[in-house]
Structure formats: C-alpha cells, structure tokens
Amino acid sequence: MSDDPKPRPILRLKNPPKLPPMAPPQPSWKCKPCGEPFAPTLAVDAEGDVRCPRCNAKVGKLEDFTARPPRTAKIRARPILRPTPPAGGRTQTRFG
C-alpha cells in the first residue's frame, strides 16, 4: 500500500443556476474618419488590429485601447464622454 490518500471527488451542482446573457459592451470610442461609435473589443481582426465597423478604417491596436491610460497618440479614435448623472438622482429640464 502506498501512503498517498485516495483523491477526493469533485462536487458539482445537479441543477446549476441559469445565468442571464451578458449585455454587449457599450460603444466607448468614436472613429475619427467617419464618426461611428464602436467597442474596441468587438472590432478586432486576426492580427489584433481594431477596425471601424462602418468604414473599415484601421483605428489602432487592441493593446493601445486596453492600456491604462489608453495610448491616444497611437489610435485614430476619440473616447465618447458619457454625462454623469447629477447628484440627488433627479434630472433637470430646461422648462422647469
């Protein structure tokens, strides 16, 4: 007999919970040549180049988009600035 213990079985759930489908990422960049909003993670080709979905322009490499902070000098896209909600959770209208 050896001194090695018998491996323990891996436990699994019989009915794993159903996970809701993940929402696609929001476009966070805008193509400089045509102005089309796009998400860099969805617009990558085989070589790692990010291309605009509308005009097919090469806007940069995925590593330039995912760097923190993004290397904006090397990419042909502008970040989309999203407005922050006002404090208090209420929106203000122009007419009252």
pLDDT tens digits for range 23-51: 766 778 999 999 999 988 877 887 889 99
Asked if residue 94 belongs to a domain, the reply is no
The predicted structure's pLDDT at residue 95: 56
Which among 93, 23, 33, 30 is positioned nearest to 43, based on CA atoms?
Answer: 30
CA distance 39 to 61: 13
The predicted structure's pLDDT at residue 65: 86
Higher pLDDT, 18 or 92: 18
Query: Residue 48 contacts by C-beta under 8 Å, 6 or more apart in sequence?
Result: 61, 62, 63
Domain of residue 63: give its range. 39-79
Question: Number of folded domains in the chain?
Answer: 1
Asked if residue 10 belongs to a domain, the reply is no
Asked if residue 57 belongs to a domain, the reply is yes
CA distance 3 to 1: 7
CA distance 38 to 33: 13
Percent of the chain with pLDDT over 90: 25
